[in-house]
Structure 1
Amino acid sequence: MRFKNPRKNGSNRGMALGVHHLLLVEDDRTWREGVGRAAREAGFVVSSVADGAEALDWLRHRPRAQHPDLILLDLVLPRLDGWEVYGQLRTDARLRHLTVMLMSSASGTPDVPLNGVVGFLHKPSQPEALVRALAERLRELPGRPKEPPRVPYSLRLTDESLYTLHALPAPVRHAVRVHLLRAAELAASELPLASSWLMALHSELPSLLVTVEGVRVVLEVDDAGCALTASMVIVPSHMRCA
């Protein structure tokens, strides 16, 4: 696939990484149109959808040859948020090869690696600045990530757990979600008995405890179903008052 109208100032460096076609997942129409326009001017081929459910439907109804080289995924979306979209991508055999760049208006960058995620962008005030930051990040990447040998466990969040997480400040909520997804990936291999954020609980049923910035999440482990379920979210008192 060729670039359309590439600039001569080096913004098409994404070609070296095989990043030609972007799928933009953004619910704000102004941002979606602005980022799409700036990305096309920078030499990318851009497809766009308005929410997470539409993104999954779009991807599942296209052959692999028509899949994007990179998904630029907003984390705050209606119907399915960006974390849920990422989780479904990783557990779908037809979509697991896809590469994702996360973006959010919340400050802070998740520091736990997720398979298939090549970076996290903070949304600036203007769409053009986001595209410049994307191009710069692509230039910094050493190459495309390798596919992990095992399928991650699916991550299930009860309605109560989701409600509690959504009440957290955005930076804390993102940090917790990325650690939960990382736990789901580790559950498919060999889990550490204890770490700074993940440990096995001594209980009748297999379970894990994820602790991030004082927030504790209990995950029930279903090895037969290859799934983790967030059964309890415990928020520190000072955060509940915020």
Structure 2
Amino acid sequence: MSPPVQHLLLVEDDSTWRNRLGEAARAEGFVVSHATDGVEALEWLRSHPRAGHPDLILLDLVLPRMDGWELYGQLRTSERLRHLSVLMFSESLSGEESPLSGVVGFLRKPHAPEAMLHQLRATLRYLPEPAPREPSGPYALRLSENVALSLRLLPGSVGHAVRLHLLRAAELVGGELPMASTWLHALPGTPPSLLVTVEGVRVVLEVDDERRELTATSADVPPHLLRAS
């Protein structure tokens, strides 16, 4: 028996990329819906019942209004949307990023859609089963204005790596948090806080267990990593 046709939500602001990637997905038997950024994708998902949700979200990380990292964070902290699986892509990804819950893979975005079509078709054809989701879910992640500005000034690959590790910290706090690792450390004090260190960038996270939130309150960025605004 052939598998049922799967439904894919493609979140991409560039119309050329939307059209070409949509064609590749439809060639693999997917029904394709579109959103141009994270805000539109979130509104679309919230307006549809769970039965109408896609089997996979193909998500560009660099988007206007709400980028892919923020959309992923919104999905993971929503009881109604946490079941959704995500395939991320961006020019700054290597394709070998650390796993995140609900993320089935990472694709590096080349200069033209045609260069990514073969890799996309192969990935869609052999999607892995998503990892089980923990019942409690991750903590929400919030960035203070100064931290958000600092991360926007980082080179693309470094910015992606920091955002990924901040989200990973939110997942670990929602499960079983290690006291120390190569990139995550618990800091002494009340209220508790965490230190995430990635490629020389140091971000302090304040922990609110009652609200189940992490707030990035400060970011120490080496001067050589800051891009001109």
Tell me the residue number matched to 2:17: 31
TM-fit CA distance, 1:130: 2.5
Provide the TM-score with structure 1 as the length reference: 0.88
Cα deviation digits, residues 155-179 of structure 1 (max 9, x gap)? 0001111110010000000000000
Amino acid at match of 1:35: L
**More displaced, 216-225 or 117-126?**
117-126
CA shift in 2, pair 1:110/1:176, >3 Å: farther
User: In 2, Cα distance between the equivalents of 1:194 and 1:60?
Assistant: 37
Q: Compared with structure 1, are the counterparts of its residues 99 and 139 closer, same or farther at alpha carbon in structure 2 (3 Å cutoff)?
A: same
5 Å-filtered alignment, 1:196-211, equals 196-211=182-197
Q: Does 2:201 correspond to 1:215? A: yes
Alpha-carbon distance in structure 2 between the residues aligned to 1:179 and 1:128: 30
TM-score of the two chains, using structure 2 as the length reference: 0.92
In the TM superposition, what is the alpha-carbon distance from 1:122 to its structure 2 partner? 0.7
Determine if contact 2:137/2:175 at 8 Å carries over to the other structure: no
Q: 1:108 aligns with which of 74, 87, 94?
A: 94
Q: Is the 8 A contact 2:153 2:227 kept in 1?
A: no
- Residue 181 of structure 1 corresponds to 167
Number of the residue aligned with 1:135:
121
Inter-CA distance 109–214: structure 2 relative to 1 (3 Å threshold)? farther
Equivalenced residues, count: 228
Compute the displacement of 1:106 (Å): 1.5
1:41 is displaced (CA, Å) by 2.8
Q: Which residue in 1 is equivalent to 2:140?
A: 154
Q: 1:90 to 1:18 in 2, by over 3 A?
A: farther
Compute the displacement of 1:236 (Å). 1.4
Q: Which consecutive unaligned segments of at least 5 residues does structure 2 have? A: none
Equivalent residues in 2 for 1:221-240 (5 A)? 221-240=207-226
The 3-state SS of whatever aligns with 1:228 is: strand
> How far apart are the structure 1 equivalents of 2:2 and 2:66?
32
Identical counterparts, % of pairs: 60
AA in 2 matched with 1:160: N
In the alignment, is residue 62 of structure 1 matched against residue 45 of structure 2?
Answer: no
Give CA deviations for 1:89-117 in whole Å, capped at 9, x if unaligned: 01111100000000101142463221000
The 3-state SS of whatever aligns with 1:217 is strand
Query: In structure 2, what is the equivalent of residue 118 of structure 1?
Result: 104
CA contact (8 A) 1:115 1:148 kept: no
Amino acid of the residue matched to residue 36 of structure 2? A
Match of 2:177 in 1: 191
Question: By how many angstroms is 1:65 displaced?
Answer: 1.0
How do 1:3-14 residues align onto structure 2 when only pairs under 5 Å count?
none
Asked if 2 retains the 8 angstrom alpha-carbon contact of 1:18 and 1:69, the reply is: no
AA matched with 2:158: V
Q: CA deviation at 1:19?
A: 7.1
| Cα distance, 1:188 vs structure 2 | 1.1
